[in-house]
Structure 1
Amino acid sequence: MSKRRFVGAVGAVLALLGCGGSSSSEETPSLGEVTSALTQVTGFGSNPGNLKMWKHVPANMPANAPLVVAMHGCTQTASAYTQAGWNALAEHLKFYVVYPEQSSSNNQTNCFNWFEPGDTARGQGEALSIKQMVDKMKADHSVDGGRVFVTGLSAGAAMTHVMAAVYPDVFAGGAVMAGIPYKCATSMTSGFSCMSPGSDKTPAQWASLVRGAYSGYSGPYPKMSFWHGTSDYTVKNSNQNEGMEQWTAVHGIDQTPDVSDTVEGYPHKVYKDSAGTALVETYDLTGMGHGTAIDPAVKFPGTTAACGTAGAYVLDTNICSTWYVARFFGLDNSDTVAPTVSLTAPANGASVSGGVRLTASATDNVGVAQVQFLVDGTPVGTDTTPPYEATWNSAAAANGTHALVARAFDAAGNSTASSPISVTVSGGVSDTTAPTVALTSPASGATLFGSVNLTATASDNIGVSRVDFLVDGTVVGQGTPSGSTYTFPWNTATVSTGTHTVAARAFDAAGNSALSSSVSVTVNAAAERFTETFSQNGPDNPGWNLGEWTLDPSDQTGASSSKSLAGAAVPAFNTVTRTASVTVKLTASPRLTYWRKLDLSGANTSASVSFQVVVNDGTDTVVDSVTKGLGTVTESAWTQRANLDLSAYANKTVTLKFIVTAKDLSSTVSRAKAWVDGISVGP
């Protein structure tokens, strides 16, 4: 038998979504629920990638309107991805939307094949099919060829990289929602590694891959917007930094941000050229898992339409990525000019006490929507009409120096912060109590590599002003707050291989500080994930005990000529168990992904047949299983079991077991058969 296995962008492990504070339990709409907003288009070219094309055409379209190509993630459909809100925004701003759609005949989990060389080269496969969709829109509608953009989630995000790289003459911009850099992977096996832990290349190495996609091209490349959840365990968020490095290098600009601010509370960085044009931007979505960020509570400016509908992998995280991406693309032609704002009172250097009147002046080319006043980065008041003012109760603040800022917003979402001023509070809280702080991750003894989130919890009787993270006693970064939790993504490549200490220090406004207990961790850049694909001559890794499991001689993959591991138990008036096992050294936050195919048959009511995956660190624990009494379980196609949580065994050496068991004391008919392949264990 033959099989074609795919990781999908990101794909292969989309079954698990870890997004703090967001629900992914809502059902994805079926195609019939939302296709009224989409029209299927056929006959759009040779379509070598065998994709489907759907479009959304708003009413009363003007001539030379923009076009956005939006690509869904694995397990999704075109209609499901309309939940991101692109159609509603298109109605308001008047642009066309095209939704390419993958089919299960190309990829069993509906992932765009971002890692297949035949689908990611100019003039070939799925990339050419998507380009032909753009050509069809230009032929059928009045499309501005200079304002064609592409965006996508997950596998669609990885394919966004592809389209921007191989067709820079077609696309003016791209927006990547949890994606993987162009040509990180050129096979299924390397796709696993790109997803996690990711691939670390220099900016120049990444850029050369893009420039090699269209040999001889000397024109401009698309501007790029990157969005990624810091708690994304499907696609390591280090891929965002690698993507930033790839495209800043393509544009010939450095990797030092020209703007570092927060948008809706999330860290945002902008990279500009010498003329001040924003060419690359990044959003670190603190605490978010794998998905596209939306905010249904927000209406698109000037409309009653909400920013998206929460669902599977479309996550309500209080920031509307669709709106901010549209503005980055320049689709909002009504207002791209930010307000001006300055604090007018109190004076810089003033001593204040009690109730303090904060005032600001602000102007905008269209109109100021609101002015927000912040003390030490925390909002203390908002005013929507001039004169803009608020009252700050400094008596509740700690005695000492505080920073005041005013931020003005217009109706289009443009915002500007004033220059900060410093004031000294007296008559406030005499605060001599230091904060409390505890480092919560990584765990003591953890082995780390790649980008690792350092997290700590902190509290204070008045309030925590900041939390710094220290490695070997040196501050490496300041944590981004989410409630009482502070997170900083630490690039372990900045330190040498070996043992290091990690700690957190919390500060309050009065200058009191406290240092957490430190933990010792080991940085090992060579600590790659465990992968097993069973080559021609046996397992690729040492430590296997195959027992009575065997390499299936009939099960070739073609691309890598690997085999699968097959186990069978036929009881015949008996109980039979077959076990294959391997010893694995786990790292921090380990997760198991593997492919399986089952043929379980219980011939009578007293029979029992099962397949189990077991982890043993002294005691057997079942982490995945299928059991059947009377009846059958037949998987005719390969099934991927993705992101099984093994965190209980972090940093341990364990035995991973694959077990088939059959019990039948009254016949010879029952059987338990299983095939496993593509085993991967890593963070």
Structure 2
Amino acid sequence: MASLSDTLTNLSRMRAAGAASDVPDRLHDLTGFAPDPGNLRARLHVPTDLRPGAALVVALHGCTQNAAVYDHGTGWSTLADGEGFAVLFPEQRRANNANLCFNWFEDADITRIGGEAESIVAMIDAAVAAHAIDPARVFVTGLSAGGAMTAVLLATWPERFAAGAIIGGLPYGTAIGVRAALERMRGQPATAPRAIASSARIPRVAIWHGTADPTVVVANSDALVDQWRTVHALPVEPTERSGDANWSRRAWLDASGRPLVEEWRIAGMGHGVPVDGHSGIGAAGPFMLDVGLSSTLEIARGWGLTDAAARPATAPAASPTRPAAKLERMTPAPTPASGVQATIEKALRTAGLLR
């Protein structure tokens, strides 16, 4: 388990390294959506030749990022131009979170109604109506806090999404409050996750994580797999495994061979989105890590949005992963901060975890 001091150091580095920089902004504002209890901004990319019945990808940036930076790094709008789907980028406002993190650990923002999750669904409704999107072909993905908010959306509005991909994220409903969020990021297990909303439609879920992630440790990937495998009533052992020296993949398939839950682990990768500098999709940068594998292309392929680029050659996969950590709920104690606690809370405010 990562130490508290190491986690705080990594959060401070995120603020320095991930600050929004000048990148091409290919997005335009989507206005007029309602309700917006989470007070979020909506950015959108629509190809010029978008046809009725196209798909919509919802992409959620990480802390310290904005929508344009996340799009530039992941390359979602570039891929959308070639494949004919639209991309919606919800964007956090600094008034909501000092470090532009989606508030995946705030009770008001992770319920179905009344917070950031409801705002994002309202954006989706507006985009679907404005551009004749197929509501059965809506997908969601995100990094870090955006990955955790992806899990929130899949859990609270499951009927609205065909599938989701969580990158460097955390399970739904295992942290309420700052201290609990920090413990989950470090890998301390939780025991009382919130129940995922019941629905006739359960979205497919892909989970991506670096084995050397010091900010959101890889134990969270275990917990996410366990959470969604349980929702889909799948066995412990995966249906198939694949991989090579740099990555491994486990998948739990349905009777038709379609993955319901899959996990991608990138060997030696830290905290960020896996990109491939030779793919023409996305660009390396802060938290956009060139590992020779484009998560954007692989995720889009898994969703049936593209056939572009060949998947890396597969080989017998890595050894079985240890069982997912047991989940526990922890809430902050309402005591005045002093001494070491004051130092910790200052670091948390700097990292955007404390308002």
Smaller-chain TM-score bracket: 0.7 to 0.9
Cα gap change, 1:171 to 1:218, in 2 (>3 Å): closer
Q: Which AA in structure 1 matches 2:215?
A: T
Aligned position for 1:114: 104
Contact kept? 2:20, 2:64, Cα under 8 Å: no
Matches within 5 A, 1:498-513: none
Contact kept? 2:245, 2:267, Cα under 8 Å: no
SS state of the match for residue 144, structure 1? coil
Determine if the alignment matches structure 1 residue 330 to structure 2 residue 304: yes
Distance in 1 between residues matched to 2:107 and 2:154, nearest whole Å: 16
Aligned position for 1:38: 27
1:241 to partner: Cα distance: 1.0
1:138 to partner: Cα distance: 1.2
Cα gap change, 1:309 to 1:74, in 2 (>3 Å): same
Distance in 2 between residues matched to 1:158 and 1:329, nearest whole Å: 20
SS state of the match for residue 15, structure 1? helix
Which structure dedicates a bigger proportion of its chain to helix? 2
Find the partner of 1:563 among 320, 336, 347: 336
1:276 to partner: Cα distance: 2.6
Find the partner of 1:137 among 122, 127, 132: 127
Q: Which AA in structure 1 matches 2:274?
A: A
Distance in 1 between residues matched to 2:352 and 2:114, nearest whole Å: 31
Cα gap change, 1:581 to 1:263, in 2 (>3 Å): closer
Aligned position for 1:69: 58
Contact kept? 2:55, 2:137, Cα under 8 Å: yes
1:44 to partner: Cα distance: 0.8
1:261 to partner: Cα distance: 0.8
Question: If the length of structure 1 is used for normalisation, what is the TM-score?
Answer: 0.47
Q: Which AA in structure 1 matches 2:13?
A: L
1:46 to partner: Cα distance: 2.3
1:132 to partner: Cα distance: 0.3
Give the alignment's Cα RMSD to 1 decimal.
3.4
Distance in 1 between residues matched to 2:144 and 2:69, nearest whole Å: 14
SS state of the match for residue 146, structure 1? coil
1:414 to partner: Cα distance: 5.0
Aligned position for 1:515: none
Deviations 1:635-666 (A, max 9, x none): xx953599xxxxxxxxxxxxxxxxxxxxxxxx
Question: If the length of structure 2 is used for normalisation, what is the TM-score?
Answer: 0.87
Contact kept? 2:250, 2:262, Cα under 8 Å: yes
Aligned position for 1:587: none
1:492 to partner: Cα distance: 10
Find the partner of 2:284 among 297, 310, 313: 310
1:265 to partner: Cα distance: 3.5
Contact kept? 2:213, 2:269, Cα under 8 Å: yes
SS state of the match for residue 227, structure 1? strand
Determine if the alignment matches structure 1 residue 190 to structure 2 residue 87: no
1:233 to partner: Cα distance: 0.8
Matches within 5 A, 1:46-445: 46-82=35-71, 83-199=73-189, 209-211=194-196, 214=197, 217-262=198-243, 265-298=246-279, 306-332=280-306, 335=307, 412-413=309-310
SS state of the match for residue 274, structure 1? coil
1:210 to partner: Cα distance: 3.8
Distance in 2 between residues matched to 1:228 and 1:312, nearest whole Å: 16
Distance in 1 between residues matched to 2:54 and 2:106, nearest whole Å: 33
Aligned position for 1:29: 21
Q: Which AA in structure 1 matches 2:21?
A: P
Aligned position for 2:4: none
Cα gap change, 1:27 to 1:113, in 2 (>3 Å): closer
Q: Which AA in structure 2 matches 1:29?
A: S
1:25 to partner: Cα distance: 6.3
Q: Which AA in structure 2 matches 1:16?
A: R
Distance in 2 between residues matched to 1:311 and 1:240, nearest whole Å: 23
The structure with the larger Rg is 1
Distance in 2 between residues matched to 1:15 and 1:581, nearest whole Å: 17
1:244 to partner: Cα distance: 0.6
1:16 to partner: Cα distance: 3.2
Distance in 2 between residues matched to 1:239 and 1:310, nearest whole Å: 24
Contact kept? 2:298, 2:311, Cα under 8 Å: no
Distance in 2 between residues matched to 1:123 and 1:25, nearest whole Å: 34
1:264 to partner: Cα distance: 7.8
Q: Which AA in structure 2 matches 1:54?
A: R
Q: Which AA in structure 2 matches 1:329?
A: W
1:13 to partner: Cα distance: 4.6
Cα gap change, 1:116 to 1:492, in 2 (>3 Å): closer
Which structure dedicates a bigger proportion of its chain to strand? 1
Distance in 2 between residues matched to 1:238 and 1:180, nearest whole Å: 9
Determine if the alignment matches structure 1 residue 639 to structure 2 residue 350: yes
Distance in 2 between residues matched to 1:11 and 1:256, nearest whole Å: 35
Q: Which AA in structure 2 matches 1:229?
A: G
Cα gap change, 1:50 to 1:492, in 2 (>3 Å): closer
* Structure 2: stretches of 5+ with no match in the other structure: 1-6
Q: Which AA in structure 2 matches 1:251?
A: H
- Which is bigger in relative contact order (C-alpha 8 A, separation at least 6)? 2
Q: Which AA in structure 2 matches 1:596?
A: K
Deviations 1:93-114 (A, max 9, x none): 1110000111111111111000
Contact kept? 2:210, 2:271, Cα under 8 Å: yes
1:327 to partner: Cα distance: 0.8
* Structure 1: stretches of 5+ with no match in the other structure: 1-9, 18-23, 299-305, 336-410, 421-465, 467-476, 479-487, 494-524, 534-558, 566-579, 583-592, 598-636, 643-676, 679-683
Deviations 1:217-241 (A, max 9, x none): 4412110011101110100111101
1:273 to partner: Cα distance: 2.3
Cα gap change, 1:102 to 1:13, in 2 (>3 Å): farther
Deviations 1:165-191 (A, max 9, x none): 111111111100000000011111211
SS state of the match for residue 176, structure 1? strand
Cα gap change, 1:184 to 1:492, in 2 (>3 Å): closer
Q: Which AA in structure 2 matches 1:311?
A: G
Aligned position for 2:3: none
Deviations 1:127-184 (A, max 9, x none): 0000000000011111011110000000000000000011111111110000000001
Distance in 2 between residues matched to 1:12 and 1:221, nearest whole Å: 37
1:277 to partner: Cα distance: 2.3
Contact kept? 2:141, 2:166, Cα under 8 Å: yes
Deviating beyond 3 angstroms after TM superposition, the runs of 4 or more aligned structure 1 residues are: 10-17, 24-28, 414-418, 488-493, 637-642
Cα gap change, 1:253 to 1:89, in 2 (>3 Å): same
Contact kept? 1:288, 1:317, Cα under 8 Å: yes
Q: How much identity, in percent, do the aligned residues show?
A: 36
Q: Which AA in structure 1 matches 2:203?
A: P
Contact kept? 2:138, 2:160, Cα under 8 Å: yes
